[in-house]
Amino acid sequence: MSLAQPAGVTTTRRSFAGGIHPPSSKQLARDQPIEVVPTPKLVRVPLLQHVGALCEPVVKSRDEVLVGDLVGKSEAPVSAFVHASISGKVAKESAATLPNGRRVPTVPIKAGDEQLEGQELFDDIYGGEWPTLRLDLPTADLILQSVRDAGLVGMGGAAFPTHIKLALNPDRPIDTLVVNGCECEPYLTADYRLMLEAPRPIITGALLAASAVDARRIVIGVEDDKRQAAEALSTAAEATGIEVRVVKTKYPQGSERQLVPMLTGNNVPANGLPLDVGVVVVNVATAAAIARAVLRGKPMTHRIVTVTGRGVETPKNLLAPIGISYGELIEAAGGLSSDAARILAGGPMMGFTLGDLDTPVTKGTSGITALTRDDLQQIEETSCIRCGLCADACPLNLVPTRIALAARKGAWSLAERYHIHACMECGCCAYQCPAQIPLVQLIRMGKAHLAGA
């Protein structure tokens, strides 16, 4: 691989068709430096935090574990190991309901006396030297092995196991590694803070990932409301040949199907993957985790979670152990305000509402957003007037009203004719709909029915 192009921030003027401009509300937390949450008394590490198979616990009740010890594994082709996120004693297995509605077993760990805290913990994860120029690149196999052992999954939200993404496929050569620093979801600022405060591990991780997939080119995409982050990355990437590209701020710019064409000029096929056009996309936080896994042998035990919204007292970006409860993170952000009405795992566009504050945080939890009654408009649904605003907003060029209303009526073949399966549920259509039709919900329902049929 040769990475000889000059570094520096370049700006992409054009943008993708469709999409929306919701109020970003990122100002609530964007200037809050990453803060390390004190080790909780108990974490519950879910045995399924990713796309794929459930892990089997490899520890039993009363075992002593150290932070980073393997607690669950699976040999299934698609899965990701889980590790102890604090040191302590394993308690009896219990189940937790994740925000997506799945009930999964967890490995609870009661904290022992010895823990890394505060700045020490931050430095352990993101501090120290991260080589970018004189980086001894391990073989692709070694990188993959480290990533797999570390239980890495995509930290942008989808939680797809990273080692599968990085596995070389001789039939599908990779040309470009795209590092996704768009963070287009309103409110969330975890990736922004990471890019600003710890750009070097992201760069190192990107170099390692590109080496694993044999990519010739590395491009980091950052939205233009996060220029400072782009500049920090560009400085860290100096002389590495990594391009930092600033793209237009528009939701859902961070979606692969929107970002890949902006950075490479190639559209991802509607029912394919970036792989089909020679691209692998990793989120910035995942890139940093790759660096830590490969160079330091450290598994994914912590992540940055933005706790934000007008429904929390002091919005923050918190570095927290996996398995800590949502409630404790909200407490760490000053607790809920009196008018908090809806708590979301993630941001307002694609996040799920939380019914139980004991829910444990997973590797894919990028934020907690507490919305107030004022944030939520409760307008009654009215008839579709076929205005087509949903079709204009759809970044995938679908006709959401047709799909949704077909699903409501049970007209499954009509829903398929309008490409229901291409929908990624980004929510632009429902955001825009003047009749307040729950388009995304209807489309999800339709997909679920078709999957079961």
Partner 1 sequence: MAAAPNKPPTVAQKDAPMERGLQVAPGPHLSSTGLTTRRLMLDVVLALVPVFAMAFYLFRWFAVLQVGICVVSCMVVDAITSLWRGSRPSLHDASAIVTGVILGLSLPWSAPWYVGVVASVVAIGFGKAVFGGLGQNIFNPAMVGRAFVMISFASSLGATAYVRPEASLEILTQATPLTAAKELSGSIPELWALFVGNSNGSLGETSVLACLVGGLYLCLRRSAVWQIPVSLLVSAAVVAGIANLLMPETPLTVLGHLTSGALVFSAFFIATDPVSSPLNTRGQVIFGAGIGALVVVIRLFSNYPEGVVFAVLLMNAVVPLINRVTIPEPLGGLPADA
Using CB under 8 A, which of 344, 404, 406, 407 touches partner 1?
A: 344
Q: Is 320 a residue that touches partner 1 (CB under 8 A)?
A: no
Q: Is the CB of 149 or the CB of 412 nearer to partner 1?
A: 412
Q: Is 350 a residue that touches partner 1 (CB under 8 A)?
A: yes
Q: Is 432 a residue that touches partner 1 (CB under 8 A)?
A: yes
Q: Is the CB of 69 or the CB of 223 nearer to partner 1?
A: 223
Using CB under 8 A, which of 262, 294, 361, 396 touches partner 1?
A: 396
Q: Is 413 a residue that touches partner 1 (CB under 8 A)?
A: no
Q: Is the CB of 169 or the CB of 383 nearer to partner 1?
A: 383
Q: Is 357 a residue that touches partner 1 (CB under 8 A)?
A: yes
Q: Is the CB of 8 or the CB of 23 nearer to partner 1?
A: 23
Using CB under 8 A, which of 65, 152, 324, 389 touches partner 1?
A: 389
Confirm if 10 and 246 have CB atoms less than 8 A apart.
yes
Using CB under 8 A, which of 62, 102, 386, 409 touches partner 1?
A: 386
Structure tokens at 350: 């694609």
Restricted to residues 28-67, the positions that interact with partner 1 (CB under 8 A) are: none
- Residue showing tokens 């991780």: 205
Region binding partner 1 by CB under 8 A among candidate stretches 33-41, 138-146, 283-291, 438-446? 438-446
Q: Is the CB of 145 or the CB of 441 nearer to partner 1?
A: 441
Restricted to residues 130-189, the positions that interact with partner 1 (CB under 8 A) are: 186
Using CB under 8 A, which of 262, 298, 431, 446 touches partner 1?
A: 431
Restricted to residues 207-266, the positions that interact with partner 1 (CB under 8 A) are: 257
Give the x-and-dash track for 178-197 against partner 1 (CB under 8 A).
--------x-----------
CA distance 251 to 128: 35
Q: Is the CB of 43 or the CB of 340 nearer to partner 1?
A: 340
Using CB under 8 A, which of 128, 139, 397, 410 touches partner 1?
A: 397
CB atoms within 10 A of CB 131: 13
